[in-house]
Amino acid sequence: MIVFKFGGASVKSAEAVRSVAGILKKYEEEEIVVVVSAMGKTTNALERVVESYQKRDRQRLDHEVQMLRDFHMDILNKLFEKGRYPVFQEIEDTLRELSEQLEEEPALNYDYDYDRIICYGELLSSRIIAGFLNSSDIPVRWMDIRKSLKSDNTYREARIDWELSTRLAREHFIFRGERILLTQGFLASTINNQTTSLGREGSDYTAAILAHILRADSVTIWKDVPGVLNADPKYFDDTILLEKLSYLDAIELAYFGTGVIHPKTIKPLQNKNINLYVKSFLNPDARGTLIGNFSYDKLVPSFIFKMDQVLIRTSPRDFSFITEDNLEEIFGILHKNGMKINLMQNSAVSFQMIVNNDKRKLHLVVDDLDEKFRVSIQTGLELITIRYFDQSTIDRVMINKELILEQRGVQNIQLLVRDLK
């Protein structure tokens, strides 16, 4: 058995869904667990639904829901030009269920509401894709992942209950004549059956969890890029496709933010020595990237660029040193406001962190810090991480940049810079 994951761009249109069917036909001999995430930018749209629902902005809410409906109906109509199939009713039912959710009184717990609404992206996409595959002579069973993956109630960042999920998933994911079991990524539920989600982009992680539990032979993540590249082509010419990557390199690259694979994906696979392929759904016969238990003699440098970074400098107002209790306080404030640190550095009397420019969170964090610390911020910066760096790779990225701060390890270097152009 193998696991495939399709999501976002690889299921963003009727044409993309057709290529999913094309790929599955190529793997005729295999039993496949297919994990899908929401179509195109649906999750972002649903985040706007949650926001207007929580603010009780009925007009905007109705508008957003209508857009969501139109987007999915349009794909459905393009996929089934010649007639109506049961999937039309399933989509109507799913959309009605969403409307019923939105009739309820908003909860005080934003994250709880978020999860019970955000799940409709995956529910709709999995219904449409399963319906289309079934009508294309690819017999598929649709499964609700929330019956198999159980988590705690940390809404939006739920932690999997591995023991319970292992028991349930092994009981449910059994092939009975169909060659494909198709389910949703990104979602789980509590033991009380409240929907939870695993964090944005979490459906790669779902594929890895299922592969681990069901002892899959391999996982393939189908994307709109040829595989894992050594840099984002947006910021770099002559990128190189990394044909083979060790688990460790994959974790490091994901952690620093390549964005190609979700960082949590690797661990469950590494533990069971399961290979992970990253391939292009536009060019399914190309080799892509293979991530596994490798070592290699030629280390290719990789570059990760994070734009729109903010440097926050703090120093205690009472001129004391930076100590464990100061740090505890600073980390506490960032954690409370859900702000992640991309890089940190300290001296005797100041502590500096680099974060993404999320204006709402930044405002809250600075307000909280201001009580005990002198705070200054610098915006408009870029954070460049180079794995397997040497002087020539540093020189290459430093053209027309001013260095603000640097952190060097044995394998990685991180450069916080300002663009001089």
Residues that bind ligand ASP (CB under 6 A): 7-8, 37-38, 43, 121, 185-186, 200-203
Q: Which residues bind Mg ion (CB under 5 A)?
A: 7-8, 37, 201
Which does residue 200 touch among Mg ion, ligand ASP, none (CB within 5 to 8 A, set by kind)?
ligand ASP
CB of residue 5 vs Mg ion: minimum separation in angstroms?
A: 9
Which CB, 221 or 343, lies closer to ligand ASP? 221
Which CB, 187 or 354, lies closer to ligand ASP? 187
Which does residue 121 touch among ligand ASP, Mg ion, none (CB within 5 to 8 A, set by kind)?
ligand ASP
Query: Nearest Cα to 256, choosing from 203, 309, 202, 305?
Result: 305
CB of residue 377 vs ligand ASP: minimum separation in angstroms?
A: 28
Which CB, 7 or 226, lies closer to Mg ion? 7
DSSP SS3 for 108: coil
CB of residue 20 vs ligand ASP: minimum separation in angstroms?
A: 15
Give the CA-trace dihedral at 77, 82, 84, 88, to 10 degrees.
Answer: -20
Which does residue 226 touch among ligand ASP, Mg ion, none (CB within 5 to 8 A, set by kind)?
none
Which CB, 131 or 185, lies closer to ligand ASP? 185
CA 253 to chain centre: 14
Which does residue 38 touch among Mg ion, ligand ASP, none (CB within 5 to 8 A, set by kind)?
ligand ASP
Which does residue 416 touch among Mg ion, ligand ASP, none (CB within 5 to 8 A, set by kind)?
none
CB nearest Mg ion: which residue?
8
CB atoms closer than 10 angstroms to residue 86: 11
Which CB, 7 or 131, lies closer to Mg ion? 7
Q: How far apart are CA 158 and CA 110, in angstroms?
A: 14
In terms of C-beta density within 10 A (0-12 exposed, 13-18 middle, 19 or more buried), how is residue 286 classed? exposed
Query: Nearest Cα to 412, choosing from 397, 396, 395, 394?
Result: 394
φ/ψ of residue 8, rounded to 5: 50, -110
CB of residue 385 vs ligand ASP: minimum separation in angstroms?
A: 22
Please check whether residue 268 is in contact with residue 341, taking contact to mean a CB–CB distance below 8 angstroms: no
Which does residue 186 touch among Mg ion, ligand ASP, none (CB within 5 to 8 A, set by kind)?
ligand ASP
Q: How far apart are CA 57 and CA 65, in angstroms?
A: 12
DSSP SS3 for 24: helix
Q: Which two tokens stand for residue 199?
A: 């964090």
CB of residue 58 vs ligand ASP: minimum separation in angstroms?
A: 25
CB of residue 7 vs Mg ion: minimum separation in angstroms?
A: 4
Q: For tokens 């027309």, what's the residue?
A: 400
Query: Nearest Cα to 71, choosing from 113, 14, 114, 111?
Result: 14
Please check whether residue 198 is in contact with residue 159, taking contact to mean a CB–CB distance below 8 angstroms: no
Put the strands of the sheet holding 373-387 in their side by side order. 341-346, 351-356, 302-316, 373-387, 412-419, 401-408
Which CB, 124 or 384, lies closer to ligand ASP? 124
Which does residue 202 touch among Mg ion, ligand ASP, none (CB within 5 to 8 A, set by kind)?
ligand ASP
CB of residue 184 vs ligand ASP: minimum separation in angstroms?
A: 9
Q: How far apart are CA 105 and CA 108, in angstroms?
A: 9
Which does residue 131 touch among ligand ASP, Mg ion, none (CB within 5 to 8 A, set by kind)?
none
First CA to last CA distance, the chain: 52
- Helix, strand, coil distribution of the chain in percent, nearest 5: 40, 25, 35
Amino acid at 288: G
Q: For tokens 């408009």, what's the residue?
A: 380
CB of residue 4 vs ligand ASP: minimum separation in angstroms?
A: 14
CB of residue 264 vs ligand ASP: minimum separation in angstroms?
A: 11
Which CB, 38 or 291, lies closer to ligand ASP? 38
Which CB, 201 or 249, lies closer to ligand ASP? 201
Which CB, 122 or 252, lies closer to Mg ion? 122
Please check whether residue 319 is in contact with residue 329, taking contact to mean a CB–CB distance below 8 angstroms: no
Which CB, 37 or 385, lies closer to Mg ion? 37
CB of residue 212 vs ligand ASP: minimum separation in angstroms?
A: 17
Which does residue 43 touch among Mg ion, ligand ASP, none (CB within 5 to 8 A, set by kind)?
ligand ASP
- DSSP per-residue codes, 259-285: -SS-GGGHHHHHHTT-EEEEEETTSTT
